[in-house]
Amino acid sequence: MPALPHAIPLENASNLRDLGGWPTTDGRRVRLGLVYRAPALIDLSDKDLATIAALGIRTSCDFRGVRESAANPVQLPGATAHLLPIEPSIGAGLRDILRTGQMTGHVTAADMLALLREAYVAYALTSFAQYHSMFALLAGDEHLPLLIHCSAGKDRTGFGAALLLTALGVAWPHVLRDYLATNTHWKREIAGFFDLPAPVKDTLLSVHEPLLTAAFDAIRAQYGSVDAYLTRAIGLDPQARTRLADRLLEG
């Protein structure tokens, strides 16, 4: 078993990872080679394209807003793209968060963290239809292997990956470990676009455990439990979760 998380090196991008390998509470593991997470994979080298082609990805789920995806289309070899936009109007996009901070006239690292927290709660409570669509695609073998991505691959994608691992029965410490690995594996290729004080930029371009915790706390507050949320909001009742586990877990 490779070291976790299983990162796939590229020349012109970073933080492409296989979600496989994580153990579940019932002693199984997420199968390798079926679900990947990434930032927007654009401006790739020929070697990068060959590396991605070798993964055999059939489906990509793009959580970027409509303008984000139109400005920088992602075309992966052999993959059908499904646009599942989480629009910046609800605070999901990095540029929207930046603009919101600038309009206040001054933004601190704490302000930025608070804005990001609002975005994460919105992922869970406002954008569940997009994640419902992600799970619907995961239910079909013809869509696998599947990749999920947004712009930076850290927030909208991070919540989606955490939701999937949780649905599969991966314990919270491992879910957090996958989420926080972005701080190690992502090279912040977009950092030059943001003219911000260093502490604010670092907050914006990092992932933070309290943000993911806030999203799941909001789920429990509104739905009573994550299980109820998966059933009512995501369309993943216990029988569907069993089928998903049989598809994506070893054993």
Would you please indicate which residues are annotated as catalytic (active-site) residues?
Answer: 150
What is the distance between the alpha carbons of residues 64 and 68, in angstroms, rounded to a whole number? 6
Tokens of 247: 């598809």
What is the distance between the alpha carbons of residues 33 and 184, in angstroms, rounded to a whole number? 21
- What residue spans of 56-208 are helical by DSSP H? 66-71, 94-103, 109-125, 128-138, 156-167, 172-180, 182-185, 198-204
Contacts of 42 (CB under 8 A, 6+ apart): 13, 72, 73, 74
Task: Say if CB 186 and CB 195 are below 8 A apart.
Answer: no
